[in-house]
Structure 1
Amino acid sequence: MLLEHLTRARVSAHPRIHIVPDRAVSGLTASAGGHRITGVRAGGEVLPASIVVDAGGRGGQSMRWLAEHGCPPPVETVHIGMTYVSRRYRYDPALLDAPLGVIVPSHPGRPYGGAVGREDADRIVLGLQAMLDAALPADPAEMLTIAGTLPDPALAAVLRHGEPVDEPVRMRFPASVRRRYERARRFPEGYLVTGDALCSVNPIYAQGMTVAALEALSLRDLLRAGPPSALAHRFFRGAARLIDTPWAVATGGDLRFPEVGGNRTLLTRLTGPYLGRYQRAAHSDPVLSAAFRRVTNLIDPPARLLDPSLLLRVARSGGGDTGLPPTRR
C-alpha cells in the first residue's frame, strides 16, 4: 500500500497529468469503420483522446469493448484455482526471527502454502494461499488450523500470538490469463492495453508490477521515437517479448500440479520436474538461488537455468521434486 500511495502522489503532482476521480469508463468511441479509437465514454460524456490505454488490471473491459468492434484477441489460460488470505500484525521479533520473513511454498500433493514478512518497522503481513480451489476461509481459527499443517511453525505462531491491526482479507485468483493482442487479426489504432489487463499471472511470483513498469518504459521509448504510426502493433509485439519470461516461469511452475488446467507443451513437460528439483536444491545452494532470483526478477532469461554449470549443481544435489522446504530471509 505504501508503494501505491507514493506512486499515486508522484503521478498526481506531475503538471501534465490530470486525474478525474469518481468516473467509470463505460465504453469506447471509434472512427467510422472502427479503425481508430477516438476516446472513451465516462459518466455520461465523451472524453476524446489521441491514445487510450487500458491499465485497469484483471477487471479491465478491453476484451468486451474490442469484441464490440470485431477484434478480440486469442487468449491463453492456465487455471490454478488460487485463493489468498492476508492480515497485518504488529511486529514482534519474538514471533518472527528471520530478518525479512518466511516463505512456505505449496507444491504438488500439498496445495497450501504461505508467507510472513516485514512490511515496515512496526508491522508484518501474513498471507496464506491455497491452490486447486482448496478451502481457505478468512476466519482466524480456520487460518490457524491450516497454518498448523505447514512445515514451518512461524506462520502458526503469528496467528496464535500476534496482535492483529486489521481484519483478514480474502482474494480469489482463478487463472493466469494472457491476452495475445499481438496475434489479433486486426486492432484499432489509438488503443493500447497494458499491465494485468494484458497479462496476469499467479501473484505468488511477484512479477506483475515489474512487467507493467517495463511495458510503460517500452511505450515511452516508442512515443519518443517519432509519430505513433502502427503504435499498437509495435507496442504489443514488444510487450509480448517482455511477457514471455514471466509467463513461462509462472505457468511452468503451476503446471507442475497435475490438477492445473492448461496447455502442457513438450517444453513444459520436460522442464517442470527439473524446476522442482532446481528450487529444492537452491534452498541450500546460494549459486542456484541467486541465478533463480535473477530469472524471476526478469534480469536473466529462463534459459539461464539450463546453463551446464547449473545443471551439474542440480544433479549433484540429489532428490526429486518432493516439495520445497520453507525459506527464511
Structure 2
Amino acid sequence: MTDTRRPGRARVVVIGSSIAGLLAAAAVKDRAEAVEIIEAQDVPAGPGPRAGVPQAAHIHFLQTGGAEALDLLLPGCTDLLLAAGAHRVPVTTDMVVCSPEGWYRRWKRSTHHVITAGRDLTDSVVRERVLADPRVGVRARTRAVGLLGDRGRVTGVRVCGADGTEYALGADLVVDASGRGTRMPRWLARLGVRGLEEAVVDSGLAYASRVYRAPVPTRGWPVVAVQADPRLDRPTTSGGILPIEDERWHVSLMGGPGAQPGRDAAAFLPFARTLRHPVIADLLARAEPLTDVTVTHSTANRRHYYERLASWPDGLLALGDSVACFNPVYAQGITVAAQGAVALREAAAAGPGPGWTRRVQRAIARPVDRAWALSTGQDIRFPTTRGRRPNPADRLLHRYVSRLSRTATGSFRAATALTDVLALQAPPVSLVRPSVLLAALAGPLRTPLSGPQFTRAERELLEGVGIGVVGVRAR
C-alpha cells in the first residue's frame, strides 16, 4: 500500500546523484528553499565508485566547454580537481592523436584544454562542493517510482524507501537526472503526455578499459589516441591513454562488431597492437596494470526529444543522459550536462512563470543538438551502425569534414576550427565560415607527420624505461 505521508516538503527534487543531478542542484540552490536529491544507491563519502555508473571504468575528460560550465556553476571547481590530481591538458599542444586523415600536430599555441581524471575523482569533487551547501540534501537508497500531478503540472514524485515503503514527496520543481535508465517516458505516458519522439543510433562499439601505473611521470604527459578510420575495409578499432591522478594512465580500447575487445587481461595488449598504429601498445609495454579489464557494450547514442512535445508539464525538467546519451568515445556527456545545467541556472535567475519549464527544456536541448550532430554524424559513417544511414547530404558533409581534418594536420587555423566544435564551444555550422572554407580549400600548409610526435624530453623518458616508439620529434 502506498503511504501518502509527506516527511517534509522539498521545493526542488532531483532524481539521481549523477554529475547531471549534482549540477542541477547547484544550478537552482540559490533560488530554492531546499533541494533534495533522490538516489537509489548509497552515496560514497569520498572518491570511491558509485553504483550504477557503468561508464566510470572507462576514460573520461572534460572538454573546454564543460570545464567552463562547471566553473560557472561551482566557481573554482576545476582548481579543486587539479589540486586533487587531475591534469589540465592543452589542446593540441599536449596531444598525440592519429586521426583518420593523419597525425595532428602539437601546436605550441593552445586555444583549448581538457581536464583528465578518473571519473570517481571528478564525481567526488563535484559532489563534495554541492553537498557542502546546507540547502542541498540527499535521500540515499530511495527510488523514484513515479510522478505526482497531471499532464499540466507535476507536483512531486512518488518514492520508495530502503524498507519498501512508498510515499509522496511534494515539490515545486522535479528534475530527472537518472541517466540512461530513465523511466521518464513511461511516467509521462501515465500522466497522459504522449507523442514523445526517440532516436537511437548505435555503432555497436564495445569498450575495454583498465588502469596502469605509468612508467614515466604523468605531469605534463600528453593524451595519446588512435582514432578509427571508417573508410578502411576492416572492423572499427580505436584507443586512448589519458594521464590521471596518482601517476596513473587510464586506458580504453574500443572495437565495433567483428573486433570487439573482451575481458581477458592477456588479450588487452595484443588488441592494442591491432589498432591503426602500435603507439598505445608500445607505451603499455612497460606499464604496470593495476586493475582488471572492464568491458561495456552500452555505447549507443539515444535521445528523447522532450522539447518537441506539443505539451510539457509545468514543474518538470530532464537533464543529462536522461535527455540524451552519447557514444562515450566522443567525451561529450559531462560537458553537455554541465552546459544544460548552466541553461537551468540562467533561467532560474530570471525567475519562473507560465510555461517556464518548457522554455528551460528547450534551452537544455541546445547543447544536446550540437553534441548529437557530432556523435551521430561520426557514427553513421561506420557500416555496422544501426538506427540511421548517411544520406547524400551526409556523405557530402563527411567529404568536406574529412578534407578539413586532413588540412588540420598542417594548418593551425583548420585545427582551431575543429577543436572549437569538438570542445563544444562552437556550433558545427561554424565549420563552413568563409575563413574555414578557404583553409580547407588551401589544404595543409605543412608536410604531414609520418608518425606520433613526441618532444625530446618525452622520448628520453621513454627510452630511459626501455620503451621504443617510432615517431617524429616535436620541434
TM-score, scaled relative to structure 1: 0.89
CA contact (8 A) 1:283 1:327 kept: no
- 2:121 equivalent in structure 1: 2
- 1:321 equivalent in structure 2: none
- Does structure 1 residue 78 correspond to structure 2 residue 197? no
- 2:378 equivalent in structure 1: 253
CA contact (8 A) 1:101 1:328 kept: no
- 2:210 equivalent in structure 1: 87
Match of 1:162 among 271, 280, 287: 287
C-alpha distance in 1 between matches for 2:440 and 2:137 = 52
Letter in 2 for 1:294: D
- 1:63 equivalent in structure 2: 185
CA contact (8 A) 2:265 2:292 kept: no
CA contact (8 A) 2:156 2:170 kept: yes
- 1:227 equivalent in structure 2: 352
- Does structure 1 residue 218 correspond to structure 2 residue 343? yes
CA contact (8 A) 2:205 2:260 kept: no
CA contact (8 A) 2:215 2:286 kept: no
C-alpha distance in 1 between matches for 2:421 and 2:221 = 23
CA contact (8 A) 1:83 1:133 kept: no
C-alpha distance in 2 between matches for 1:209 and 1:176 = 14
C-alpha distance in 1 between matches for 2:266 and 2:406 = 31
CA contact (8 A) 2:214 2:247 kept: yes
How do residues 292-307 of structure 1 correspond to structure 2 at under 5 angstroms?
292-307=418-433
C-alpha distance in 2 between matches for 1:97 and 1:230 = 49
Change (3 A) 1:106 1:98: farther
Q: What is the root-mean-square deviation of aligned Cα atoms in Å? A: 2.4
The count of residues paired between Structure 1 and Structure 2 equals: 320
CA contact (8 A) 2:204 2:384 kept: no
Per residue, is there more helix in 1 or in 2? 1
- 2:467 equivalent in structure 1: none
CA contact (8 A) 1:55 1:196 kept: yes
Per-residue deviation, residues 240-277 of structure 1 (Å, max 9, x unmatched): 22222111111111122233231535542321122223
Secondary structure of the corresponding residue to residue 53 of structure 1: strand
Secondary structure of the corresponding residue to residue 381 of structure 2: coil
CA contact (8 A) 1:115 1:128 kept: yes
C-alpha distance in 1 between matches for 2:139 and 2:421 = 38
- 1:322 equivalent in structure 2: none
Match of 2:363 among 235, 238, 251: 238
- Does structure 1 residue 23 correspond to structure 2 residue 145? no
- 1:38 equivalent in structure 2: 155
Letter in 1 for 2:331: A
TM-score, scaled relative to structure 2: 0.63
Unpaired stretches in structure 1, ≥5 consecutive residues: 319-324
CA contact (8 A) 1:100 1:118 kept: yes
How do residues 123-202 of structure 1 correspond to structure 2 at under 5 angstroms?
123-132=248-257, 134-202=259-327
C-alpha distance in 2 between matches for 1:115 and 1:19 = 35
How do residues 274-289 of structure 1 correspond to structure 2 at under 5 angstroms?
274-289=400-415
C-alpha distance in 1 between matches for 2:241 and 2:352 = 48
Give the ranges of 4+ consecutive aligned residues of structure 1 lying more than 6 Å apart after TM superposition: 325-329
